[in-house]
Amino acid sequence: MEQQDIERIARAALKELGATGGDLRIEPDQRAGHWRIEIRGNLHGPSTLRIKCGQGSSAQWVRDQIFDQFNS
């Protein structure tokens, strides 16, 4: 899964969660297959999410991780 895929999925998931208007930055984390999603300007929820995904990961898997972390 490429960075632009993760960004597209994250934007859609965060929009569903009501976290719109924040500046989104997605970067690879220190380990392969781990990504960090920073949400600057988010007033209702976490400012950083960490997800795992790689070759063969589905969009639903990424979305579920975002929803789980945002709602915890």
Q: What is the pLDDT, as a whole number, of residue 63?
A: 97
Angstrom CA distances, 1 to 6, 8, 40, 57, stand at: 7, 11, 23, 7
pLDDT in tens, 35-62: 999 988 766 777 899 999 988 999 999 9
Q: What is the pLDDT, as a whole number, of residue 62?
A: 96
Rounded mean pLDDT, 25-34: 92
- 48-52 and 23-28: which strand pairing? unpaired
Q: Which of 17-26, 27-36, 37-46 has the highest mean pLDDT?
A: 27-36
Q: What is the pLDDT, as a whole number, of residue 18?
A: 84
> DSSP character for 30?
S
- 34-40 and 23-28: which strand pairing? antiparallel
